[in-house]
A and B are shown apart, each in its own frame.
Chain A
Amino acid sequence: MTASALALIVFLPLLAACATVAFPGRWVGLIVRTGLLPLPLLMLVPTAAVLDQNVVHLALAGHASPLGIEWRLDSLSLLMLWLNVGITVLISLHAGFTFRPDSDRGRRFWPLWLILFASMNALVLSADLFNLYVTLELVTLAAIGLIAVESKPAALRAGMRYLLLALMASLLYLLGVGLIYGQAGTLDLYLIAEQIEPGWLPVTALTLMIVGLLIKSAVFPLHAWLPAAHGNAPGPVSAILSAMVVKVSIYMIWRLWFWGAAGWDLTTAANLMGLLGAAAIVYGSLAALVQDRLKMIVAYSTVAQLGYLMLLFPLASALAFQAASYHLLSHGLAKAAMFLAAANILNSVGTDRLQRLAGVDQRLPLDVFALALGGVSILGLPPSGGFVAKWLFLEAAWQQQAWGWLILVAGGGLLAAAYLFRVLGVICLHPRKRLDKRPRRENPDLASVAALILAVGAIAAGFFSAPVLDLVSAGLPPGMTP
C-alpha cells in the first residue's frame, strides 16, 4: 500500500508529463490535473505509515542496498514531500492562467513542470548517493528549461549562467560520490556512515559534494546565479525555484552532514558553514535593500533567507533542527506567495520597477495583501510560521549560549524588515496617487487567490506548528536528542 502510493507519487506526474508530450492537443489540461490533483490524497498513505512506524524502507526492484537502490521515508522526507506537493499544486493553480494548457507556451511549460515536480519527489525519497545525483540533474535541467520557457533574452542569459554553474556543481558532487564509492563500496547514504572513518580522503569527498550542493543551493558566496535566474523567470517558475528547488540541495547537504557523516567531529567546518549563512543573511538583505525591481528584491530575499538554513550546522541541536525544518516550510510558503503576487503585479502593471508601483494597492488589493502577509512571515513577526522558526532558532542559540548566532537571527529579522517595509512603503504610502494608466492585462481572480492561499498558509503555519514540530522531532538525525 505504502509502496504503491510512493510509486505513484513519483511516477504519476512523470507519466502525465509524457502524456502531455504525446497528446499536445486539448487534453493537456485534463492530463495535468490527473497528474497533480490525486497527489495530496495519495500523500495520506505514506503519512500514516510514517506516523505509525517512523521510518519506511523500500527496496526498489526487491534488491536491498548495497546491491540496489532504496527509498527511505522518514519525517524530514515526509515534510519535504508535503511541502513540494502542496506548493506545486497551489502554484499550478496560478500557472494554469500564465501558461494556458491549450496554448503554445503551455505546451512547452507543463511537461517540464510535471517532470520538475516528479523529480523532486524522487529526490527526497532516495537514499542512494548516485540516485540522488540523477534526480538532482533532472531537477536542474527541468528548472533551466522552465526559466527559459518564455524565451526572453534576460531569462535565457540567466538560464545559461545557471546551467554552466549547475553542471560544474553536478560534476563536483559526482566526483565526491565516486571517491566515496571507492572507499565504502556502497552508495547507500545510510550504510556509508558505518563504512567510512573520517580521514583526508572521505573529508575531501564530502567537501567536494557539499561545495557542489552549495552552488546549487546558491549559498553565499556561490549565489551569483540566483537573483538573475529567479528574478527573470516567469512568475510560477520563480515561485517554485525559491520555494523548493534551492531547498532540495540544502536538504541533501543536511542528509550528508547529519546522517552520512554522523559521528564525525565537524565543529570547525560547521562554524564555517554558519559564517557563510551569516554572510548570506547580511549580504542578501543589504542587496535586497538597493534593488529597484520587485522580483529582484524577492530573489535577493531568498539569498538571505537561505542563510538561516545554514545556521543548523553550528547549532546542531534538536531545537535547531526543528527551527531549520520549520523555516524551510514557512519560507517555502511565504516566498511562493510573494513571487506569485509579484508576478500578478508585473502582469497587471507591465513592469515591476518599484517607483512605478505606487498605488498598486488600490488596483490589486489581494496581491498586495498576499505580498504583505508573505513578508510578515519572512521577517518573522508573530503569529506567522516564520516567527515560530526564528523563535526556535533564538531558543536554540540561547540554550547553547551562542550569542553571535543569537544576534545574527535577531538582526537578520530587522534587515528583512528594512527591505520589506521599503517595498510596502512605496506601494501603499502615497498621497492619494492613482496609477494613471489602465491595467495592461487583467489577472484572473484565481491567480490572486493562489498567492493568497499560500500567504495565509505561511501565517497559519504559526498556529499549527505543534504537530509538524512533533513530526520533525520524531525523525531527528542520529546523535541529536530532543
Chain B
Amino acid sequence: MTLFLLDGLIVVGLVTLAYQAVSSRSLFRGIIHFVVFGLTMALAWARVGAPDLAMAEAAIGAGLTGALMLVAYRRLVEGRSDSPADPAPAQSRLALPIAIGSGLLVGVIGLSALFSEVEPAQAGQAVLSELQQVDLGNPITAVLLLYRGLDTLLEVAVLLTAFLAARAVAGADGGEGSATTPAPETPMVGALLAVVIPLTVLVAIHLLRAGSYEPGGAFQGGAVLAGAGVLLILSGRIAATPVAGPLIRMGLLAGLVSFMLIGLVPLLKGSPLLALPGLWAVYFIETAMMLSIAITLILLFAGGGGLKRGRNG
C-alpha cells in the first residue's frame, strides 16, 4: 500500500514538475523544476528496478545538466545589462502542438505497455545465459563493454563530439573568463572542499569498481567525478582556458582512444573486432572512460577548451 502511494506520488510529481518546467514564467524557476524533475525521475527508475539508470539520471540528468543550464542562465543574464534580472522565456506558438504530440506519444507508450504481451526478450535472455561464462556480475557492464561494445565506443565519441561542437560554436572568443565568478573566499569553503572533494573522488572510484558486479560503472563514476570538478570551478580553484594543455587533452581522449586501440588489437590475431582480450581490458577501458567523461563534462561546464589553476587555487 505504501509502495503504491509512493508510486502514485512519483507519477503525479513527474507530470506536475514537467509541466512546471516548461510552462514556468521565469526561466530560473523552469530550470529548478527541471532539476527536481530529474531527481524524481531517478526515483522512478529506482522503483522500476533500474538502479544503473537511476544513478545516471541523478548524476547526469539532474546534477550536471542542471549545473550546465544554470551556468547558461547566468551568462544569459550577465551578458545583457538591459535585460530584466530574470528573463521570461518567450511563448512559442509551437508549445500547444508539441504538448499534444507529446501527450499522444505518452499515450502510445502507455497503451503498448498495457496491451503488448511481455515476452522475455531474446537479446536479454542471451545476455543472462552468456553471463556465466565471464567473470562480470553486472549484466549491464557486460552488455556495454563485451556484447555491444561498439555502441559504448560511439557514445564516448558522441560526448567528445559534443565537446568539439561546443568549442566550434564558442568560436575564437570562447574560453577565457568563465562566467562563474567565484564567491568571496571564506575559510569555510576551503575546509568544506578538503572534505567533500576526496569523498567525491572516493565515491567515483567506488562506483567504477562496483560496476563490474553491481550497479555502477564508468558513466556514473565519471559524472560524480565531474561533480567534484564543478565544485572546484565554482569555488575558483580551477578556471577555464581557451586551449587545453597536454594532460587535459590526454584525459579527454583516453577513453575513446584506448577503447579503439584495444578493440583493434584482436584483429592482428585473427579474432573479431572489439573482442576484448580479457577482463583487464574491461577495467582499463572503464577507468579511461571515466576520466574522459569527467573531463569532458567539466570542460563543458567551464565553457573552455582547457583548465588552469584558478585565482583561489
Q: Which residues of A line the B interface, CB within 8 A?
A: 3-4, 6-7, 11, 14-15, 18, 21-22, 24, 58-63, 65-69, 104, 108-109, 111-112, 115, 119, 122, 130-131, 134-135, 137-138, 141-142, 144-146, 148-151, 156, 159, 172, 175, 179, 181-187, 201, 204, 208
The A/B interface has a contact count, at CB < 8 Å, of 166
Closest residue of chain A to B122 (Cβ to Cβ) is A185
Interface residue from A15, A119, A122, A149 paired with B168 (Cβ < 8 Å):
A149
Binary CB contact string for chain B from 93 to 120 against chain A (1 if under 8 A, 0 otherwise):
0000000000001001100100110111
Tell yes or no: B11 within 8 A of A by CB. Answer: no
Q: Is the CB of A104 within 8 A of B172?
A: yes
CB-CB under 8 A from A24, the residues of chain B are: 243, 249
Residues of A within 8 A of B273 (CB): 3, 6-7, 58, 60-61
Q: Roughly how many angstroms separate A24 CA and B167 CA in the complex, as a whole number?
A: 14
- Which residues of A sit under 8 angstroms from B116, Cβ to Cβ? 182-183, 201
Give the distance in Å from the alpha carbon of A24 to the alpha carbon of B168 in the complex. 14
Q: How far is the CA of A3 from the CA of B256 in the complex (A)?
A: 20
A186/B169 in contact, CB under 8 A? no
Indicate if the CB atoms of A151 and B267 lie closer than 8 Å. no
Q: Which of B136-194 contact A (CB under 8 A)?
A: 146-151, 154-155, 157-158, 160-162, 164-172
| Cα-based distance from A220 to B158 in the complex (angstroms) | 28
Please measure, in the bound complex, the distance between the C-alpha atom of A68 and the C-alpha atom of B272, giving whole angstroms.
12
Whole-angstrom CA separation of A111 from B256 in the bound complex: 14
Q: Which of B34-70 contact A (CB under 8 A)?
A: none
Tell me the bound Cα distance from A130 to B130 in angstroms: 21
Known: A112-B161, A119-B154, A156-B169. Contact between A11 and B260, CB under 8 A? yes
With both chains docked as a complex, state the minimum distance between the C-beta of B244 and any C-beta of chain A, in angstroms: 8
Alpha-carbon distance A183/B274, docked complex (angstroms): 28
Minimum CB–CB distance for B98 against chain A, Å: 8
Min distance, Cβ B152 to any Cβ of chain A, angstroms: 9
Asked whether B169 lies within 8 Å of A22 as measured between CB atoms, the reply is no
- Show the binding face of B for A, using Cβ within 8 Å: 105, 108-109, 112, 115-116, 118-127, 130, 146-151, 154-155, 157-158, 160-162, 164-172, 243, 249-250, 252-253, 256-257, 260-261, 263-264, 267, 271-276
Q: Would A141 and B162 count as touching, CB distance under 8 A?
A: yes
Chain B residues near A3 (CB, 8 Å)?
A: 267, 272-273
Would you give the shortest CB distance from A165 to chain B, in whole angstroms? Answer: 11
Given A7-B264, A119-B157, A156-B169, output 18 extra A-B contacts at Cβ < 8 Å.
Answer: A11-B260, A14-B260, A21-B164, A62-B275, A63-B146, A67-B127, A67-B130, A67-B147, A122-B150, A137-B158, A138-B154, A148-B169, A150-B171, A151-B172, A175-B109, A179-B112, A182-B116, A185-B124
Known: A14-B260, A145-B165, A185-B122. A61 touches B154 (CB 8 A): no
Contacts of B157 in A (CB 8 A): 14, 115, 119, 138
B161 touches A66 (CB 8 A): no
B172 to A, closest residue via Cβ: A104
Within the complex, what minimum Cβ distance (angstroms) separates B219 from chain A? 14
Cross-chain contact B122 with A186 (CB below 8 angstroms)? yes
Specify which chain B residues have a CB less than 8 angstroms from the CB of A181 in the assembled complex: 121, 123
A61 to B125, CA, bound (A): 18
Contacts of A149 in B (CB 8 A): 168
Is A141's CB under 8 angstroms from B161's CB? yes
Interface centre among B116, B127, B151, B257 (most CB of A within 10 A): B151
